[in-house]
Amino acid sequence: VGLKGEGSAGTARLGVFGGAFDPPHLGHVALAQLAVQQLRLDALRIFPTGHAWHKSRPLTAAAHRMAMARLAFGAIPHVVVDERETLRAGPTYTVDTLRELAAEHPGAELFVVMGEDQALAFTGWNGWRDILQLAIICVAEREELAQPDHRFVPPAGLESRFCQLQLPPVPVSATEIRSQIAHHAQAIPMVAEPVARYIAQHHLYQTA
């Protein structure tokens, strides 16, 4: 994509937001919108994961998750859904994606956007120290998951590589949505209307 400010000035601000998006819900959409605004991003690339090494549950087929991500995020200005992680053989590592983006957009400033549950696990990620060299980690609170006495705190000495996103809590998770659909909720909750239609048409998440 053509990034504003890219090239000689090398100041393009490029966000990265990865997830299973199984399905993408209104919490994800709110986070994407907020990140574009607060971080003044020229582009936010959404990366549905391939085989996410840290999720034990088998994911819905990548083609479905890609299609739903396009429906959920497609209309947000500056947001692009990028399928490359779903095409990668083997596990998906954010560090690999960041290296590719850094090579494709020399001089761009990279920002990785995530919820607090992921931030709490971040120092267990493959190549997390390299990630911090490549990007700033921007964290949104996740009220419904974090224990009050166990909020995310950046590792000592590395505070400058982190920032907080001012997202009002959106108490929703994909797990909860899948479970409600499997238990025959009347309406599919907390997803964008086109995503709800897609889920219904393709009979996704019918079994727990």
Site residues for ligand ATP per CB under 6 A: 19-22, 27-28, 31, 114-115, 117-118, 140, 142, 170, 172-175
Cβ 67 to ligand ATP, closest distance in Å? 15
Residue nearest to ligand ATP (CB): 115
Using the minimum distance from each CB to ligand ATP, give the nearer residue, 6 or 20: 20
Using the minimum distance from each CB to ligand ATP, give the nearer residue, 28 or 70: 28
Record the tokens describing residue 164, joined without a space: 């907080």
Task: Name beta bridge partners: 46.
Answer: 17, 81
Using the minimum distance from each CB to ligand ATP, give the nearer residue, 14 or 32: 32
Using the minimum distance from each CB to ligand ATP, give the nearer residue, 106 or 169: 169
- Give the phi and the psi of residue 138 in degrees, each rounded to 5: -115, 120
Assign residue 152 a region (left: φ > 0; alpha: ψ between -120 and 50; beta: otherwise). Answer: beta
Cβ 117 to ligand ATP, closest distance in Å? 5
Sheet hosting strand 109-115, strand order edge to edge: 79-81, 43-48, 13-19, 109-115, 135-140, 162-165
